[in-house]
Amino acid sequence: MRRGLEFGVALAAGVVLVVVGANVRLSVMSSGHRFEPAEAPTVPVVIVPGAKVGPDGAPMAYLRGRLDVAIELVRVGKAREILVSGDAAGASGDEIASMTRYLLDHGVDPALVRSDGEGLSTRETCARAERLFDVERAIIVTQYRHVPRAVALCRAEGIDADGVTAYCECRRITLVRNNIREWLAAPKAVVGLILG
pLDDT band with cut points at 50, 70 and 90 for residue 29: confident
Q: What are phi and psi of 34, to 5 degrees?
A: -120, 130
- Measured CA to CA, the distance from residue 168 to residue 106 in angstroms comes to 18
Q: Quote the pLDDT of residue 7.
A: 60
Mean pLDDT of 82-92: 91
* Whole-prediction pTM: 0.87
Q: What are phi and psi of 158, to 5 degrees?
A: 95, 10
Q: Which residues contact 42 (CB under 8 A, 6 or more apart)?
A: 77, 78, 79
**Residue-wise pLDDT tens digits, 143-195:** 988 999 999 999 999 999 999 999 887 777 776 776 677 766 766 877 777 77
Q: Quote the pLDDT of residue 12.
A: 62
User: Do residues 86 and 99 lie in contact, with contact meaning Cβ atoms separated by under 8 Å?
Assistant: yes
Strands, E assignment, the chain: 34-35, 43-49, 79-85, 113-116, 137-142, 160-165
pLDDT band with cut points at 50, 70 and 90 for residue 140: very high
Per DSSP, 41 falls in state P
